[in-house]
Amino acid sequence: ITLIFAALVLFAAFEAPIMVVAQRLCEKPSGTWSGVCGNSNACKNQCINLEGARHGSCNYVFPAHK
């Protein structure tokens, strides 16, 4: 039983970094939104409905005019 537990711990140690890399998000700016995003829900709806995205949210960039 100890050897099985050690093997599982070793397997988990090598598996965890691969899962973390796969969970990163690929974000890109909206192609249809302009101006300040003050309502994340409106931005999400526009990204989904007009751009075919699976999700959307306000991602602030400072300075805002950048």
The total number of structural domains that make up the chain: 1
Q: What is the DSSP letter of 23?
A: T
Mean pLDDT to the nearest integer, 8-36? 64
53 close to 36: Cβ distance less than 8 angstroms:
no
Provide the domain limits for residue 26.
2-51
Is 24 inside a domain boundary? yes
Is 20 inside a domain boundary? yes
Confidence (pLDDT) at 23: 47
Confidence band for 55, pLDDT divided at 50, 70 and 90: confident
Assess whether pLDDT exceeds 50 at residue 4: yes
What global pTM score does this model have?
A: 0.47
pLDDT: which is higher, 40 or 27:
40
Is 6 inside a domain boundary? yes
Is 19 inside a domain boundary? yes
* Number of other residues whose CB lies within 10 A of the CB of residue 38: 8
Is 10 inside a domain boundary? yes
Assess whether pLDDT exceeds 50 at residue 20: no
Confidence (pLDDT) at 37: 78
